[in-house]
Amino acid sequence: MRRFHEVKVRNAMEVAVWGTGSPLREFLHVDDLADVVVFFMDKYSGLEHVNVGSGKEVSIKELAELVKEVVGFQGELVWDSSKPDGTPRKLMDSLKLAGLGWVPKISLRDGLVDTYKWYLEYVKQ
């Protein structure tokens, strides 16, 4: 997100992104994590672990396009396939959590919007 912002401010025409964009990732907003911790304290007393995740995958390409949109960068994404993609897929099995009745409330897009607002207020130079 920082790189997209910096490129936008410099009025550059492109931002380089490592890999092909095909790997899949899962994201969970920190406020959803706090919510699920409280949920567990109130509703779960089991001894087995419970994975916490959104259960939704997004490709790195989709993520980069979403960050581009949220930041307002108008240039092009340039995929550097000479760089590694990393692990093809990272998704938690959150079926047990869903079965307990908890679902995340904050979408990836909304989380990115909140994060960018925070960045603009507290971090950017």
Q: Over the stretch 48-90, which tens digit does the pLDDT of each residue have?
A: 999 999 999 999 999 999 999 999 999 999 999 999 999 999 9
Q: What is the mean pLDDT of the chain?
A: 96
**Structure-token match 């340039």, residue found:** 78
| Domain residue extents for the chain | 1-123
Those residues whose C-beta lies under 8 Å from the C-beta of residue 91, and which sit 6 or more positions away, are 24, 26, 53, 55, 57
Residue 92 is encoded by which pair of tokens?
Answer: 């938690």
Q: Whole-prediction pTM value?
A: 0.90
State the pLDDT at residue 124. Answer: 67
The CATH superfamily label for domain 1-123 reads: UDP-galactose 4-epimerase, domain 1 (3.90.25.10)
How far, in Å, are 28, 76, 86, 114, 123 from residue 65 at the CA level? Answer: 18, 10, 19, 17, 22
